[in-house]
């Protein structure tokens, strides 16, 4: 019975990825591009994606903005609240490199310095189509068990 239940959960993860989004200090450009992903024009719900109000109900974490000294603990806490298996998508240039803020003394660096990142969506800001494609890719990584958080758990 539990085998059937676990297979159902695995299929559900691919077909309905639940997403939680955090802004680690961005200019809000990425957040403006995430909003249309779940509007009728781009219809993120068509692929089963659903924005969640709590990280405890999410499968995928979308992070935007450069990781600052002030937000690094918050980012780590939110990441820890998402149940495993989980995937992380870094939106835009800021969580990847710090973008134009990279020389600032208050910038930690990339999101990779704080949490494991599975996918990077390029752009400043990235387009809604690219964000939805990354969500679909993250969902398939979750189904296959290939996210960085899953590999860290199995590798010890």
pLDDT in tens, 63-107: 998 999 999 999 999 999 999 889 999 999 989 888 877 788 888
Q: Cα separation of 140 and 137, whole Å?
A: 5
Spatial separation of the C-alpha atoms in residues 144 and 98, rounded to whole Å:
30
Tell me the pTM.
0.87
CATH pick for 2-155 out of 1.10.3720.10, 3.30.1280.10, 3.40.50.12280, 3.20.20.70: 3.40.50.12280
Domain boundary assignment for the chain: 2-155
pLDDT of residue 156: 46
């Amino acid at each position: 019975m539990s085998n059937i239940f676990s297979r159902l959960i695995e299929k559900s993860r691919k077909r309905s990825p639940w997403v939680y989004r955090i802004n680690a200090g961005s200019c809000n450009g990425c957040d403006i591009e995430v909003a249309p992903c779940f509007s009728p024009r781009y219809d993120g719900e068509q692929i089963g994606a659903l924005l969640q109000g709590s990280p405890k109900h999410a499968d995928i974490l979308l992070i935007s903005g450069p990781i600052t000294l002030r937000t690094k603990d918050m980012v780590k806490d939110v990441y820890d609240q998402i149940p495993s298996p989980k995937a992380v998508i870094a939106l835009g240039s800021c969580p990847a490199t710090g973008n134009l803020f990279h020389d600032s003394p208050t910038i930690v660096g990339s999101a990779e310095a704080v949490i494991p990142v599975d996918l990077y969506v390029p752009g400043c800001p990235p387009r809604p189509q690219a964000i939805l494609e990354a969500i679909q890719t993250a969902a398939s990584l979750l189904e296959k068990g290939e996210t960085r958080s899953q590999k860290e758990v199995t590798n010890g």
